[in-house]
Amino acid sequence: MASTAKHSMEARLVRAGVTTALAAGLLTGCTVANGGHPSKYADRAQSALQKGDADKAVNLAEQAVQADPRNAAYRTTLGDAYLRAGRFASARQAYDEAMQLGDDKGRTALSLALADIAQGNGRHAMDTLAAYRDSIPASDYGLAVALAGQPKQGVAVLANLLRSGENTTKVRQNLAYAYALDGQWAQARIMAAQDVPANEIDGRITEWALNGKPEDVNKRVAMLLKVPVVADSGEPQALALANFPSTQQLADEAAGRQAAPALAAAAKKELPAVAFGQNTAPQPAVAVADSSTPDAGAGAEPTAPAALAQIDMPQSETASAGESAPERFVSRPVVQHVSAHRAAASATPATHLAMADGTHLVQLGAFSSAEGADRAWTHFTRRNPALKRYQRVTTHVVVNGHDFWRVMVAGLNGYGSASSLCSTVKSHGGACFVRLDTDKVNPGRAHAETRMARN
């Protein structure tokens, strides 16, 4: 009896459109606990989302954020409201700010990736998806990757999931859409026909085909979520997280202002006068070159994104409206700018920071944007706090004209020590591999790499 009811529900979802489950998961958001004026706005915003009133939800969520701007849960609710209204640029900002404030859930990461995909930022979306892969259901991940521009990768993920025994309507229809995004129309039709009535197949395939142009990414996401496509210039500037620094940020800025006069006086005494227009930028410290290509396998640079069909996002956990999520872990990474495949790598001079002692590195991942690398490090350290004891190294490499940022841990003496840390990372659901720090073991190699501290 239960099996019959489940099959009947799946059939209704298919007839209603394969995006129903995704819309239900992403657009209704989570329930925020009562208590306090901001929480009432957030609760009412959630209620408006559940009733399908996107404009009212946006208005209420904006009031909640304005009343408590550093509350991650409220900014996530605001992102849900913007997404429901088809305001992808605003949704992207709200989700990004929520994650900066500590929302580290897979659901929020997937929502951020969808907003990026809708704006044509597939590479950024893939950075997020790669960092949070272990927190996102495989059926959702596979379709998101396909929508992001990597349909073959999405097909592979979903086909493997199907073969592993997860033979559900959602997986089958996601795979059908991924096939369509990859231009495999015959396979898409065969897979879709397993759940879609025969008299509706042509309509389903036609709908996918009409929104299949590369430039129609916003239409594909809108179709998936059943939301309108609207012009959007972003969330109101008054709500931007930059306008509401943390107490620690304010203290740091105050200390900097107090120290500025003394530093300026010291610099005036020690620095020689120069002629107007003379280049006075300090030369960055030069280290050993690494001209190898980005590594494949675990931790390799993510390929371009893929595509979605029916992503069933898990409901986010109930968040306490009365307290903000913990602040994002802030590190002072060493950034290496590397020339690879004879492609020039630009570098802006900065204060030199000596590398930690050690012969080996553990690479945690590689990403197509510095922002993606930063977000990944935050996620890695939350998932495995032991990483905070080590020095983070972010290496910028240019390969065949494409930028990548490797995220690594430095200061490990010997392969055994590095391998042990990598095993710990894997036990927490991460991916990694060990690299020899050629800068330390071959100090006489030709110099072609610049390492700099980033504030």
DSSP characters for 166-229?
A: ---HHHHHHHHHHHHHTT-HHHHHHHHTTTS-HHHHHHHHHHHHHT-SGGGHHHHHHHHHT---
Domains located in the chain, CATH noted:
7-228 (1.25.40.10), 328-453 (3.30.70.1070)
Q: Which residue has the tokens 């570098």?
A: 347
Q: Which residue has the tokens 């980005």?
A: 294
Average pLDDT, consecutive stretches of 10 residues, N- to C-terminus, the chain (455 residues): 49 44 47 61 95 96 94 96 96 92 91 95 92 92 96 97 95 96 96 94 93 89 91 92 75 59 48 36 30 38 41 42 35 40 32 54 85 83 84 85 86 87 82 79 42 32
Q: Which amino acid is at 223?
A: M
pTM over 0.85: no
pLDDT at 337: 43
Q: Please give the share of the chain, as a percent, with pLDDT higher than 90.
A: 39
pLDDT tens digit string along 194-239?
Answer: 999 999 999 999 999 998 888 899 999 999 899 998 999 999 999 9
Instruction: Look up residue 402 and give its DSSP letter.
Output: E
pLDDT at 56: 96
Strand partners, 449: 287, 338
pLDDT at 117: 96
β-strands 360-367, 433-436 pairing: antiparallel
pLDDT tens digit string along 282-316?
Answer: 333 222 223 333 443 344 433 333 334 555 443 43
The answer to whether 137 and 314 have CB atoms below 8 angstroms apart is: yes
The answer to whether 51 and 257 have CB atoms below 8 angstroms apart is: no
pLDDT tens digit string along 231-274?
Answer: 999 999 999 988 887 766 666 656 655 555 554 454 444 344 33
pLDDT at 250: 64
Torsion angle in degrees (nearest 10) through CA of 436, 441, 443, 445: -60
β-strands 402-412, 360-367 pairing: antiparallel
In sequence order, which residues have a C-beta less than 8 Å from that of residue 374 and are 6 or more positions away? none
φ and ψ at residue 453, rounded to 5 degrees? -85, 140
Q: Please give the share of the chain, as a percent, with pLDDT higher than 70.
A: 64
Q: In whole angstroms, what separates CA 67 from the centre of its chain?
A: 27
What the block records as the tokens of 452 is 């700099």
In sequence order, which residues have a C-beta less than 8 Å from that of residue 287 and are 6 or more positions away? 336, 355, 439, 447, 449, 450, 451
